[in-house]
Amino acid sequence: MTVSVGVIGLGRMARALICPLIEREILRSSEVIGVVGSEATATRLKSELPGDLTVVAASDPRAMEAWNAQVQLLAVKPQQLDAVAASVEPSQAGRSGSQLLISVLAGVTLERLQSRFPGRACVRAVPNTPCLVGEGLCGLAWGDGVTPEQRLWVTEAFRPVSEVLELPESRLDAFLALTSSGPAYVALVAEALADGAVAAGLPRDQANHLAHRTLAGSAALLDRQQLHPGQLKDMVASPGGTTMAALRHLEKAGLRSALIEAVIAATEHGRGLR
Ligand SMILES: NC(=O)c1ccc[n+]([C@@H]2O[C@H](COP(=O)([O-])OP(=O)(O)OC[C@H]3O[C@@H](n4cnc5c(N)ncnc54)[C@H](OP(=O)(O)O)[C@@H]3O)[C@@H](O)[C@H]2O)c1
C-alpha cells in the first residue's frame, strides 16, 4: 500500500515515528507533509529534517493538504484537539471513506475522534519515546471501519521502532501510564542512583554511566532470561549482605508503593483528560 501521510503536529512524538520510516525507506519524505503550530517551528524543522519533507505552519493554506492525505497522523497536544478539528474545512472533513486517522493523543477516545473526524476510520495509538532508538512499545486500538489492509499498514508502520500490541481501548490508559510515562519513572531512578553513588564518592560522569548501564543491563537480563523480577532480586541478595541492607531501606521508604501509586495516578489522570 503506497500512501501519502499528513502529520498534524510534527512534534517530538510524531518525529520519533515518522523519521525512522523515512530512514528505512518505508515512506518517501516527498509523500509526507507535516503541520506545526508556528512559522518559527516550521523554519527550524525544515533545516533539521530530510530536504523534500514539506513542513508548514497551521496558518499556511497548504496545511489543508495534510487533511487530504490517505493517512493522517494526529500528534498535537490533547488540549488542542477541538481547535484543530474545527480548523478542518468542511470540504476536507470526511472527504473519503478510505482515509485513516491515527491519533497518539493521550486520553482521547475513539468515540471522540470519530465524532470530531466523521468519515475517517480512526486508530488510537499509544507509543513511547524509546521509539526514538527503535526500542519502543506501541499499543493500538482500532475504531470502526478500519480495513484489514489499513490495520496491516499501521502495524507495519510502527514495527520498525517498537513492539506493537493490539489492545481493547479500555486498557490503553493503563498501558500509557506504564509505558509512555515509564521513561520518566526510570529517569528519576537513574538520576537518584547516580546521586547516591556521587554522595558515596564516585565522580559524576562515572556515576551517571554506571547507573544507566546497571538499568539497561538489568532490563536485558530480565528480558533475555525471562526472569521474574523476584528472581533477579534474589540473584544479588545474599543472606545478611549489602544488597539486603539496601533493600530493607527501600522497603521502609515505600519505594514499591510509591511506584504502584504513580502508575495508578497516571492512569486516572489520563482518564480525566476526557
Ligand atoms: N511524548 C510522549 O512520550 C508521548 C507518548 C504517547 C503519546 N503522546 C502524545 O503525543 C502528542 C504530542 O506530544 P509531543 O510530546 O510530541 O508534543 P510536542 O513535541 O509539543 O508536539 C506537538 C506539536 O504540535 C504542533 N502544533 C501546535 N499547534 C498546532 C496546530 N494548530 N496544528 C498543527 N500542529 C500544531 C506543535 O508545533 P509548535 O511547537 O510550533 O507549537 C508541535 O510540533 C500528545 O497528544 C501526547 O499526548 C506523547
Number of domains in the chain: 2
d(CA 125, CA 207): 36
Q: Are residues 144 and 239 in the same domain?
A: no
Q: Which of 171, 194, 227 is the last residue of a domain?
A: 171
**Which amino acid does the sequence have at 198?**
V
What pLDDT score does 92 carry? 59
Q: Are residues 69 and 138 in the same domain?
A: yes
Is the minimum distance from the CB of 130 to ligand 1 under 6 angstroms? no
In a domain, 55, yes or no: yes
In a domain, 176, yes or no: no
Tell me the per-residue pLDDT of 3-49, one tens digit each, with 9 for 90 and over. Answer: 699 999 999 999 989 988 888 888 889 999 999 999 999 999 988 88
d(CA 242, CA 137): 35
Q: Which of 125, 145, 171 is the last residue of a domain?
A: 171
Give 88 or 192, the one with higher predicted confidence: 192
Q: Which of 171, 197, 215 is the last residue of a domain?
A: 171
Q: Are residues 64 and 135 in the same domain?
A: yes
Residue 222 has pLDDT above 90, yes or no: yes
Q: Are residues 83 and 203 in the same domain?
A: no
In a domain, 199, yes or no: yes
Tell me the per-residue pLDDT of 49-80, one tens digit each, with 9 for 90 and over. Answer: 877 889 999 999 999 999 999 999 999 999 99
Q: Look at residue 170 and give its three-state secondary structure.
A: helix
Q: Are residues 186 and 140 in the same domain?
A: no
Range of the domain at 220: 182-272
What pLDDT score does 23 carry? 86
- Lowest mean pLDDT: which of 11-15, 83-87, 132-136, 270-274? 270-274
Q: How far is the CA of 74 from the centre of ligand 1 (A)?
A: 9
Among residues 85, 70, 107, 122, the alpha carbon closest in space to that of 9 is found at 85
Q: Are residues 199 and 255 in the same domain?
A: yes
Q: Are residues 189 and 139 in the same domain?
A: no
Q: What is the CATH number of the domain that holds 64?
A: 3.40.50.720
Q: Do residues 236 and 218 make contact, with C-beta atoms less than 8 angstroms apart?
A: no
- Lowest mean pLDDT: which of 49-63, 71-85, 224-238, 241-255? 49-63
With a CB cutoff of 8 Å and minimum separation 6, the contacts of 140 are 123, 124, 125, 126, 154, 155, 158, 164, 165, 166, 167
Q: Look at residue 166 and give its three-state secondary structure.
A: strand
Query: Which of 19, 33, 76, 185 most suits a substitution to test ligand 1, by most atoms within 8 Å of the C-beta?
Result: 76
Q: What is the CATH number of the domain that holds 205?
A: 1.10.3730.10
In a domain, 103, yes or no: yes
Residue written as grid cell 470502526? 144
Among residues 120, 110, 113, the alpha carbon closest in space to that of 67 is found at 120
Q: Are residues 138 and 204 in the same domain?
A: no
**What average pLDDT does the segment 166-192 reach?**
97
- Lowest mean pLDDT: which of 4-13, 85-94, 250-259? 85-94
**What average pLDDT does the segment 228-232 reach?**
98
What is the average pLDDT score of the chain? 92
Q: Are residues 35 and 128 in the same domain?
A: yes
Q: Are residues 167 and 207 in the same domain?
A: no
Residue 69: how many CB atoms within 10 A of its CB? 20
In a domain, 247, yes or no: yes
In a domain, 235, yes or no: yes
Is the minimum distance from the CB of 38 to ligand 1 under 6 angstroms? yes
